[in-house]
Chain A
Amino acid sequence: MLPLNAKITQITEESPAVRTFFFDPRFEDLEPGQFVMVWIRGVDEIPMGLSRNNSITVQNVGEATSKLFELKEGDSFGLRGPFGKGFTLPVKGDKILIIAGGVGAAPLSPYAEAAFAAGAEVHTILGARSAGDLLFEGRFEALGNIYVSTDDGSKGVKGFVTDVLKGLDVAAYDRIAVCGPEIMMSSVFRLLEERKALEKAEFSLHRYFKCGIGVCGACCIDQSGLRVCKDGPVFSGVQLIGSELGKYSRDASGRRVKI
């Protein structure tokens, strides 16, 4: 499919470096956790998790995102997707734990809302550098218990999401969904591995994407060779045992880069 023309209907500043871009059209059949390829014409095309079925939430980190930040309401960008495999939805009566760090809260927010709508009890651990960087706190809070951690202690527990997780009874949850910086995810992975909870856990990975549609192989992870863009980006904890998670990734040329 060629890129759709997505028209920006609204821009919300979530924090100084993070903005949500609402767009038209809307993806009615979004599986929360899926991503889109966002084409900033003349610059680059980058993968982004959907924070709603009609929004992306973007941290300004590079050339493409800076160009995106220059766009105004009424402007447009190209959009392909949604692609990949999302998080597994719980069933009525399940108890789920969301573990979100930084902009990792973006793809987890529609998941938390879909899980709540399906009749699950939704608890969230939301972490960020400081109080001002906490993303979608209100959206998670509206669904159930929320535990907050900040690196600088400006809100909630001073420390990381794992510091909160250590104090929770993991066995009480039917599903655990994780997304955030890789170092955070690998700490969560190790903790859940120790507690033998990987089977019910899912992690959303990010890797350099080239084609984005499962053909080129640039985003394959070791040792399985699974494609993050098509077999993921959401993987079960079991699929990631012995993987490169937290150790290294590959850059655009395919060279290994330490995490």
Chain B
Amino acid sequence: MYTLTGLKLKNPTILAAGVLGTTGASLCRVAREGGAGAVVTKSIGPAPKTGHSNPSMVRLDCGFLNAMGLPNPSYPGFLQELVFAKKNSSVPVIASIFGGNPAEFAEVAEGLLPSNPDAFELNVSCPHAEGYGAAVGSNPCLVEAVTAAVKDVVNVPVWVKLTPNVADITSIGTAAESGGADAVVAINTVKGMVIDIESGYPVLGNRSGGLSGKAVKPVAVKCVYDLYTALEIPVIGVGGVSSWEDAVEMMMAGAAAVQVGSAVYDRVDIFSEIGAGIETFLERKGYSNIKKIIGLAHEMV
């Protein structure tokens, strides 16, 4: 068992927000069949949103590009899904939430409290939803205020998911920590765009979106590395993790746990595979426990 901000995880792999997290049943499938140590829901906001028009996600040679546009049924509509996930997943369930300002964040968090999420993850990083996500998360003052507002109304851990689309991610991480965050999650997707050369149209319905998958892993590793240095609170690494080797690398940069998103494209049971791979690696290298590799790269000078 791993402990992360007080949550007990059977392995350090977590389903990332926005992936297979629209329904309670899907979250349970990722936990049970997939082997995830914890699951994060789709980001839930104050009002129902249908998101951007399609295409909303395309696979590229180097990863995936998406612009979903925060589709969600709003917190009253999502309660029954969260209740189902809590009841049937047997792993910690983290509610990802978003809003346009501190009051909206607090409203959504309070609204979901009756379903007893094990923690909240604040989405201040979605790169393609006007007025939300990265629009909030690139402003340190707003990040601190949003974090503090949610901390005020809940008594479970609060994680803050950061965008890499800023000049200095550590200043945003520091703001989250000052607001009382229990952990930061890095990174959300990197801004990107693809164009259909037959027609000249940008492919995504939203024209541009966020890049995930293999291409962003080195970006994520560097962000995690820098945040580990700058912050006291744990850093949860996400971005391009699709194998146990990727997970180990992310941990050596300083991640206390990893989240996996796009890689469910290949197989839903990627979580148990990564968890087992980490265990075998620790054994082979003679590390007594996972803490020995977290931030290891910082010592190698």
Interface residues of A (CB under 8 A from B): 1-3, 5, 37, 39, 41-46, 76, 78, 80, 209-218, 220-227, 250-256
Contacts and interface: CB of A to CB of B under 8 A. Distances in A.
Given A2-B60, A41-B196, A217-B19, A255 B28 contact: no
A218 B22 contact: yes
Interface string B59-100: 110001010100111100110010000000000000000000
Given A80-B58, A217-B19, A218-B71, 6 more contacts: A210-B71, A215-B66, A216-B20, A216-B68, A225-B26, A253-B49
Interface stretch (B111-119, B199-207, B277-285): B199-207
What 7 pairs across the A-B complex have the smallest Cβ distances? A225-B29, A45-B54, A211-B57, A225-B25, A217-B20, A252-B50, A220-B26
7 contacts: A44-B53, A45-B53, A46-B54, A215-B20, A216-B20, A217-B42, A225-B26
Interface string B136-167: 00000000000000000000000000000000
Chain B residues touching A, range = 35 or more
A224 B57 CA distance: 24
B262 interface: yes
A221 B25 CA distance: 8
Interface in B164-199: 194, 196, 198-199
B54 A222 contact: no
A210 B68 contact: yes
Interface of B: 18-30, 42, 48-51, 53-60, 64, 66, 68, 71-74, 77-78, 81, 194, 196, 198-199, 201, 203, 205, 261-262, 264-265
B57 A213 contact: yes
Nearest to A63: B53
Contacts of A76: 198-199
A215 B265 contact: yes
Contact of A252 (B66, B71, B199): B71
- By secondary structure, the A interface counts as loop
A254 B43 CA distance: 11
B88 to A, nearest CB: 9
B78 A254 contact: yes
A216 B64 CA distance: 12
A256 B48 CA distance: 12
A5 B129 CA distance: 29
A19 B203 CA distance: 25
A254 B262 contact: no
A54 to B, nearest CB: 18
A39 B53 CA distance: 11
Given A252-B51, A254-B42, A255-B73, A215 B198 contact: no
Q: Which of A216, A250, A252, A255 has the most CB of B within 10 A?
A: A216
Given A253-B71, A253-B73, A210 B51 contact: yes
Contacts of B51: 210, 252-253
Given A216-B68, A253-B72, A255-B77, A39 B26 contact: no
